[in-house]
């Protein structure tokens, strides 16, 4: 199927220095040399320009340091550059941080999203009195966590009602609602996708998989919340980036797509698999790493199970995941073991000193 939106050449990607954003930026910069890709990122603790070393000198890549919460800055930026499309990934993304600092999640995930919607609406001149503008797109990247928690059965479809439980998922749910409201109220050309848990290179080691890779490497305890029985549906990050590319170019305005790997694992199964892979890779005795597993106090409001039905994306737009979990996890471990410097920089905070001085706030 040919892309329906090939005319969008000036694309703003928010949160492009983060985990998923950096894979999306790399894909777009390399695959679409005719497009100008603007990476707009505040460089919070989660933003790391080292993730983009391989594309930073490409002529179609541009970096803008800024905060999506700053409405004046965002509007001025849109007026100056006249972006034709936005792929919005900037967010506070860690559930545990949302439990300790919920307001930061409201600011970035809700207010920041509304600021971007307002700026897009202003420069594209969107209103219910006018037809939806052609050649424009606001793509909001969201999470399956907005759907809440499943029991032993069931699966999230695009029709599942929202039922968020953590401040993180509540803030993402609110942002999704605003995006749909701007589509319905102002004819803003919007698309949303809701994806399951990602894993892969450049994942910040506060999340389960990279944290445990780091801890296994350093023979530190592996903290498993509760009994480790919570289930997540894991997707390799490059498969998500490919899905974003396809949805960005082919989805109809106003549509929603679920993205997921049909790949459910309990947390304890994931960590046992990781331990076995790393016993082998690090030349340790079989079972040695499993001894590091430590059960700790459960997360408050911990969602039991996520499972996503991505049939619509597979059938309508022809996407499917490319990697089996074992294969993806092995690739991920190889990446972390080969990129000791990256891991050292993020765990020591050095990455922020290296890069932030190169860019001034506009
Ligand atoms: P991340 O935390 O790794 O990166 C977030 C990026 O946003 C960072 O580069 C950070 O500097 C930037 N940022 C944060 N606040 C900002 C602000 N106020 N202004 C500008 N930039 C700001 O997140 P991620 O895991 O890559 O997730 C990206 C998006 O995908 C998020 O919207 C998240 O909700 C969604 N998502 C993530 C997952 C997952 O498993 N990680 C799954 C589904 C959806
Ligand atoms: P996480 O990677 O934080 O993603 P999310 O909460 O968005 O799903 O956590 C994945 C699962 O792992 C989740 O059920 C919580 C659990 N977990 C632990 O057991 N220990 C940890 O140290 C972390 C960070 C997460």
> Nearest residue CA, atom 20 of ligand 2?
224
* The two three-digit tokens of residue 209, written as one number: 């998989």
CA of 35 to the centre of ligand 1 (A): 23
The pairing of strands 264-266 and 231-236 is antiparallel
Q: Helix, strand, or coil here: 305?
A: strand
> Nearest residue CA, atom 44 of ligand 1?
143
Q: What is the distance between the alpha carbons of residues 200 and 210, in angstroms, rounded to a whole number?
A: 8
> Nearest residue CA, atom 3 of ligand 2?
207
Q: What is the distance between the alpha carbons of residues 149 and 170, in angstroms, rounded to a whole number?
A: 13
Q: What is the distance between the alpha carbons of residues 145 and 20, in angstroms, rounded to a whole number?
A: 16
Q: Which ligand is nearest to the CA of 234?
A: 1
96 is catalytic: no
Q: Let me know how long the chain is.
A: 362
Nearest-atom index, ligand 2, CA of 306: 8
Q: What is the distance between the alpha carbons of residues 336 and 343, in angstroms, rounded to a whole number?
A: 7
Q: What is the pTM of this model?
A: 0.97
The tens-digit pLDDT sequence of the chain (362 residues) is: 434 566 789 999 999 999 999 999 999 999 999 999 999 999 999 999 999 999 999 999 999 999 999 999 999 999 999 999 999 999 999 999 999 999 999 999 999 999 999 999 999 999 999 999 999 999 999 999 999 999 999 999 999 999 999 999 999 999 999 999 999 999 999 999 999 999 999 999 999 999 999 999 999 999 999 999 999 999 999 999 999 999 999 999 999 999 998 999 999 999 999 999 999 999 999 999 999 999 999 999 999 999 999 999 999 999 999 999 999 999 999 999 999 999 999 999 888 765 554 443 33
Nearest-atom index, ligand 2, CA of 206: 24
Which residues have any ligand 2 atom within 6 Å of their CB? 95, 197, 207-208, 211, 223-225, 230, 232, 267, 299
Which member of 144, 176, 238, 245 is catalytic? 144
145 is catalytic: yes
Asked if residues 260 and 232 have their Cβ atoms less than 8 Å apart, the reply is no
List Cα–Cα distances, 64 to 77, 114, 115, in angstroms: 9, 19, 16
Question: Strand 85-88's sheet: what is its strand order?
Answer: 61-65, 36-41, 10-14, 85-88, 137-143, 190-195, 256-259
Q: Helix, strand, or coil here: 141?
A: strand
Fold of the domain built from segment(s) 10-202+235-262+302-324+349-358: Rossmann fold (3.40.50)
* The two three-digit tokens of residue 251, written as one number: 């989805």
* The two three-digit tokens of residue 348, written as one number: 């020591």
* The two three-digit tokens of residue 169, written as one number: 């998922």
Q: Which runs of E-coded beta strand occur in the chain?
A: 10-14, 36-41, 61-65, 85-88, 137-143, 190-195, 197-199, 222-225, 231-236, 256-259, 264-266, 293-296
CA of 230 to the centre of ligand 2 (A): 9
């Amino acid at each position: 199927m040919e892309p329906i939106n090939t005319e969008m050449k000036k694309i703003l990607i928010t949160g492009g220095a983060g985990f998923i954003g950096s894979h999306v930026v790399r894909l777009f910069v390399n695959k679409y040399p005719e497009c100008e890709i603007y990476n707009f990122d505040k460089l919070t603790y989660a933003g790391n320009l080292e993730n983009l070393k391989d594309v930073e000198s490409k002529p179609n890549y541009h970096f803008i340091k800024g905060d999506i919460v700053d409405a004046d800055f965002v509007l001025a930026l849109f007026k100056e550059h006249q972006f034709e499309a936005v792929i919005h990934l900037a967010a506070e993304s860690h559930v545990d941080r949302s439990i300790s600092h919920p307001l930061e999640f409201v600011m970035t995930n809700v207010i920041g999203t509304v600021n971007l919607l307002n700026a897009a609406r202003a420069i594209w001149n969107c209103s219910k009195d006018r037809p939806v503008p052609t050649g424009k797109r606001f793509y909001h990247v969201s999470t399956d966590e907005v759907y809440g928690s499943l029991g032993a059965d069931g699966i999230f479809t695009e029709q599942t009602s929202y039922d968020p439980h953590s401040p993180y998922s509540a803030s993402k749910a609110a942002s999704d609602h605003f995006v749909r409201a701007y589509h319905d109220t102002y004819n803003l050309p919007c698309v949303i996708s809701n994806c399951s848990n990602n894993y892969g290179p450049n994942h910040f080691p506060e999340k389960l998989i990279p944290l445990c890779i780091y801890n296994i490497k350093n023979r530190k305890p592996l903290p498993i919340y509760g009994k480790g029985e919570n289930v997540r549906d894991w997707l390799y990050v490059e498969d998500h980036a490919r899905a974003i590319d396809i949805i960005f170019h082919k989805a109809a305005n106003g549509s929603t797509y679920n993205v997921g790997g049909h790949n459910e694992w309990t947390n304890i199964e994931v960590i046992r698999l990781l331990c076995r892979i790393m016993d082998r890779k690090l030349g340790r005795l079989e079972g040695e790493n499993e001894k590091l597993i430590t059960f700790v106090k459960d997360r408050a409001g911990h969602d039991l199970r996520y499972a996503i039905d991505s049939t619509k994306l597979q059938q309508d737009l022809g996407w499917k995941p490319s990697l089996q979990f074992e294969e993806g996890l092995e690739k991920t471990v190889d990446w972390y073991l080969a990129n000791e410097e990256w891991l050292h920089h993020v765990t020591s905070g050095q990455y922020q000193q290296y890069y932030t001085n190169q860019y001034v706030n506009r």
